[in-house]
Amino acid sequence: MSTIFQSQRAAAIAALAAGAFTVLGFAPTGFWPIPFLTLAALWTLWRRAATPGNAFARGFAFGTGLFGAGVSWVYVSLHDFGLMPAPIAAFATLAFCAVLSFYPAAAGWCFARLRLRHPLAAAAGFAALWAIAEWLRGWVFTGFPWLAVGYSQSDSPLSGFAPLAGVFAVSAVTALCAALLGVLVSGERKTRVASLATLALVFAIGGVAQRTSWTAPQGEPVAVALLQGNIPQDLKFQPERYFATLATYRRLIDASNARLIVLPETAIPVFLDAVDPRYLKSIAQSAMARDADVIIGAPLREPGGGFFNSVVTLGASPSQRYDKSHLVPFGEFVPAGFGWIVKTLSIPLSDFTRGTPDPKPLAVSGQLVATDICYEDAFGEEIIRQLPQATLLVNVSNVAWFGDSLAPAQHLQMSRMRAMETERFMLRSTNTGVTAIVDPHGRVVGRLPEFIEGLLRGEVQGRSGATPYVKFGNVPIVLICLALLAAVAFHARRSVGAAGESR
């Protein structure tokens, strides 16, 4: 019994370490081959699990390593800026990581229950279960798709699957390739040959897809300017800082000389109706004189009592607004029964009203701009609600809540994936970073250093047309994975039946 216990403990430690090392595959390090090795290790550990419970425990350990190392910046927002007491913030962060770890744990339990004896069937089942688990994590309880393994492949040939079926498709083929590596190491000669051939085919398809264009240029290029005010988060909402903040952004706007100027999320840190009308009028008049438009992040409130995390436009085009619809739990809305948690935090404007679930692009500067605010950038299927009409993507963010952590680089990586999925330029204006211009192939063609005040200038080209992902969203990859699971389950059942008859 002690030997079995030690074996289980060693497997859990190996899974924990594999999960933690997987984080190196994501930004900012971006060593994209690493997830192939760590997921191959997890596949091997699941195949060797004696019971579904063992596989569940190993999946949970992997998730604990992955999320414990990869999203520990949640503690920074809770404690450093939300002023939650350190013990409570630490417990909340650990509990959050534990909830996220349930998804790979559940995938491991299902994998063991399928009893997939053939290595190639086990590889297919592993890939399908991993992608389904990530997809579920992306929408259950409003969703948290951060660190979907597909993001780690933003610079690999597998990113070519992004415009075909989105980030979860990239996750699926990444998990498949990882399992096939496991087959190469441990399989028989026939399965090794088949595994190697499948690996080559997957990478070839990804490479061809990278060079395939689904959209076309539309209209003339437009000069853009993305503003980064670098307002410290602990001072942003202090009344004594208010006028200095307005002066900073007015100075940057005047220096922009672009047709489309974008300010970060809540660049104006008070309700827009509380701002001196002369300030907003002067910005609008200055922009109109240059045939320009300015997109400004600001909270809005309505006479009925609701208030919104929004952007508004000022300038040559008619004034428009976009209201954030996918709000951050506890940070921007309070789930029922959890008001006690918010009482331990010091977060201004923490109970917003949801915007419409069917937003329209902003018609500015000769473009139709699909706008999203901060956290919304993590949800590809929500971004495509405004496409194919939209010609550009714009994200306004304030990731200063997470300090000098992994979060800003991870968020930029997700923006890159949104650009690849839609084949549109992505413009990111942030308070402290990472402010960047991303081209339709996901390449960062311009960026500002973090934690400086700055102005990023560039020229971007609007695009028309629709990638397969824009047309169909996540539905195809979910259906493919479910069909694959049904097929391998049927194969496993037939194999068990045939073995029973032979005896």
Catalytic residue among 236, 324, 381, 481: 324
**CA atoms within a 13 Å half-sphere pointing along the CA-CB vector of 417:** 36
CB–CB of 310/356 below 8 Å? no
Q: Tell me which of 177, 374, 381, 450 is the catalytic residue.
A: 374
Give the DSSP H/E element, type plus range, for residue 457.
strand 454-460
Which residues pair with residue 222 across a beta bridge? 460
Rounded CA separation 90/87 (Å): 5
CA 174, distance to chain mean position in Å, is 16
**Structure-token pair, residue 237:** 């909402």
Q: 374 an active-site residue?
A: yes
Phi, psi of 448 (to 5 degrees): -100, 150
265 part of the active site: yes
| Catalytic residue chosen out of the listed positions 134, 236, 265, 423 | 265
Contact call for residues 346 and 331 (beta carbons, < 8 A): no
Whether the Cβ atoms of residue 49 and residue 58 lie closer than 8 Å to each other: yes
Euclidean distance between CA atoms 423 and 159, whole angstroms: 12
How far is residue 138's CA from residue 103's CA, in Å, rounded to a whole number?
10
Judge whether 324 counts as a catalytic residue: yes
Beta strands in 270-327 (DSSP E): 293-301, 307-315, 321-323
Catalytic residue numbers, as ranges: 265, 324, 374
